[in-house]
Structure 1
Amino acid sequence: MHNTHQAIDLPSLRKQKILLLLERDGKVTASELVEHFAVSQDTIRRDLGELAAAGLLQRVHGGALPRPKDTGKDFFTRVGETNEVKRHLARVAAGRAEDGQIVLFDSGSTTLQIAQCLPHALHLTVITPSPMIAIALADHPHVKIILAGGQLNPATLSTGGHEAVRLIQSVKADLLFTGVCALHPQVGITSLHFGEVAVKQALLDSASHVIAVTTSDKLGAVEPFVVAPCSRIHTLITEWDAPDVQAYEQLGLQVQRV
């Protein structure tokens, strides 16, 4: 029975890893995927076809590209917009993680980048509502991963609901990495998705130190659903030329411009 269960799970896991490779490299070829996963051309062709049918990538001759940009700010659109500035912020943030810590990772394209920048030698316990972050860290030999379960939001590729909140509330973590949708000195941390609010609040409550990582365009912005005041963040890592950071420093945030 165990083998049957494993056979059911593997195609889904493989497709998620294909999407991670696509996000990292900007393109994938069928021949590289065949070699990477040690499966047949037919299997990879079927995987790419199913991912294309779901709107998660664009099939091209011999492989696949990220799907064409649309107006929605879903997970894959945001990851597709990742640039060198975001990667630099992520590398700086990843350097704040220390050996032996319990670390919470919020979902999102920025936090996925941070996870991908963690050194392989680091010993951590990671708790996250993001299956993509869990998969990104699966090849880190010294990282123990706990995935907060619950209903998956297709727009954010994160779990939500009572199950996810309860698990996160049971954790006393050293560190939380969060990428904010919007951060306004008066309004606070806000989100585009109502379903994310309870999970984000639980993450903030469960961490001794909160590091928010964001590009400067998110500063001063407001989304519809309020998560928490800015003062819940301890360290804000943003671009070196970000404007008006004094407003956040006056609220007690340590602002690191890089």
Structure 2
Amino acid sequence: MSKAVVRREEIGRLASSGGLASVEELSRAFGVTPSTIRRDLAHLTESGVLARTYGGAIALPTHAEAPLSDRRSDAHSAKRAIGLWAAAQVRVGQSVLLDAGTTTAELAYALRETSPLRVATIGLTPLEAISGATGVEVVCLGGHLRDISQGFEGPITEMALEQLSFDAVFLGCDGVTAERGICEASIAQTRLKELMVRSSVVTYVLAHAAKLGSAPFNAWVRMPSSWTLVTDEAATDAQVASFERRGVRVIVVDATGSEIPHLSA
């Protein structure tokens, strides 16, 4: 095991035990330069191990990100319903962008009968769901594959996004709050989502009820001035109202993917 790997593991353990240290303190403790520590912190932050503070690092005070394989069966009926409603918003001839994830995979599957259509995605799961559909042009943006989410990220993905435009983007999330928007496991993911939003005319966030108000990590997406949250009928009126008070359009769907009224509407 390399010295860098050992050092980064030690920094992670220090932070997870509640420790907080400046770059200078870490530099002295490990006998390396401050620039080396900054690279370590950047690596650990991008990996979702740490959340940065000014001049130091703290551990994320939450559970580790779960692999996509562990999340496939979570709220499956709700994800399917959300995907059905989202697919109904897509018009023939449009160009849409799908985030990685299991909910966007349900949307991708529901789009198989809409053609002609161009569907671009950064995720292997939506790619698998839409692949082979007649009359659908499928674009995979590529890049560095994040095994845990089966999604692409990094400079290649970002470069592709900067050269394309879409009628709508459909985003997944690890959590979403009314105050701060989408919560993700790393800054690399939040930057990517911001580029996805910037490349699209309309933004939808697909999140089943358990994700509303959830903030499992410390990286946040800066949301556009106008966006739509799509959730399922398990969402409470209080949850929905918290978003609507912030000017977010909220769509609640039943098990068939049909929009249903809610008290705060």
**TM-score normalised per structure 2:** 0.66
User: Shift in Å at residue 82 of structure 1?
Assistant: 4.4
Supply the distance in 1 between the matched residues of 2:148 and 2:208 (Cα, whole angstroms): 21
User: Shift in Å at residue 184 of structure 1?
Assistant: 1.0
3-state secondary structure, aligned to 2:158: helix
Alignment match of 2:241 (pick from 240, 246, 250) = 246
Quick check: 2:75–2:208 contact (8 Å CA) kept in 1?
no
Alignment match of 1:93 (pick from 86, 94, 115) = 86
3-state secondary structure, aligned to 1:228: coil
Supply the distance in 2 between the matched residues of 1:228 and 1:131 (Cα, whole angstroms): 25
Indicate how the Cα distance of structure 1 residues 148 and 219 shifts in structure 2: closer, same or farther if over 3 A, else same. Answer: same
User: Shift in Å at residue 232 of structure 1?
Assistant: 5.0
User: What residue in structure 2 maps to residue 218 of structure 1?
Assistant: 211
- Find out whether 1:172 has 2:191 as its counterpart: no
User: Shift in Å at residue 180 of structure 1?
Assistant: 1.7
1:86-165 map, 5 Å: 86-165=79-158
Tell me the alpha carbon deviations over residues 75-110 of structure 1, each in whole angstroms, 9 at most, x when there is no partner. 111113242122112111111111010100011111
Larger RCO (alpha carbons 8 Å, 6+ apart):
2
Tell me the alpha carbon deviations over residues 170-200 of structure 1, each in whole angstroms, 9 at most, x when there is no partner. 1121011111211111122110233322211
Supply the distance in 2 between the matched residues of 1:94 and 1:232 (Cα, whole angstroms): 23
User: What residue in structure 2 maps to residue 227 of structure 1?
Assistant: 221
User: Shift in Å at residue 233 of structure 1?
Assistant: 5.4
Aligned length: 187
Quick check: 2:171–2:206 contact (8 Å CA) kept in 1?
yes
Supply the distance in 1 between the matched residues of 2:128 and 2:114 (Cα, whole angstroms): 17
User: Shift in Å at residue 252 of structure 1?
Assistant: 2.1
Tell me the alpha carbon deviations over residues 129-172 of structure 1, each in whole angstroms, 9 at most, x when there is no partner. 11232232111111111111211010011111111011112112
3-state secondary structure, aligned to 1:236: strand
Quick check: 1:212–1:233 contact (8 Å CA) kept in 2?
no
| Unaligned residue ranges in structure 1 (runs of 5+) | 1-70
Tell me the alpha carbon deviations over residues 33-75 of structure 1, each in whole angstroms, 9 at most, x when there is no partner. xxxxxxxxxxxxxxxxxxxxxxxxxxxxxxxxxxxxxx85111
3-state secondary structure, aligned to 2:134: coil
- Find out whether 1:200 has 2:185 as its counterpart: no
Supply the distance in 2 between the matched residues of 1:205 and 1:79 (Cα, whole angstroms): 28
User: Shift in Å at residue 212 of structure 1?
Assistant: 1.1
Quick check: 1:90–1:117 contact (8 Å CA) kept in 2?
yes
Indicate how the Cα distance of structure 1 residues 241 and 121 shifts in structure 2: closer, same or farther if over 3 A, else same. Answer: closer
**TM-score normalised per structure 1:** 0.68
3-state secondary structure, aligned to 1:118: helix
| Unaligned residue ranges in structure 2 (runs of 5+) | 1-63, 254-265
Instruction: Pick the structure with greater CA Rg.
Output: 2
Supply the distance in 1 between the matched residues of 2:207 and 2:225 (Cα, whole angstroms): 15
- Find out whether 1:256 has 2:251 as its counterpart: yes
Farther-moved stretch of structure 1 (154-163 vs 238-247): 238-247
Tell me the alpha carbon deviations over residues 185-221 of structure 1, each in whole angstroms, 9 at most, x when there is no partner. 1122110233322211111111101111111111111
Letter of the 2:110 counterpart: C
Which contiguous aligned blocks of 4+ residues in structure 1 show a shift greater than 6 angstroms? Answer: none
Letter of the 2:248 counterpart: L
Supply the distance in 2 between the matched residues of 1:72 and 1:181 (Cα, whole angstroms): 9
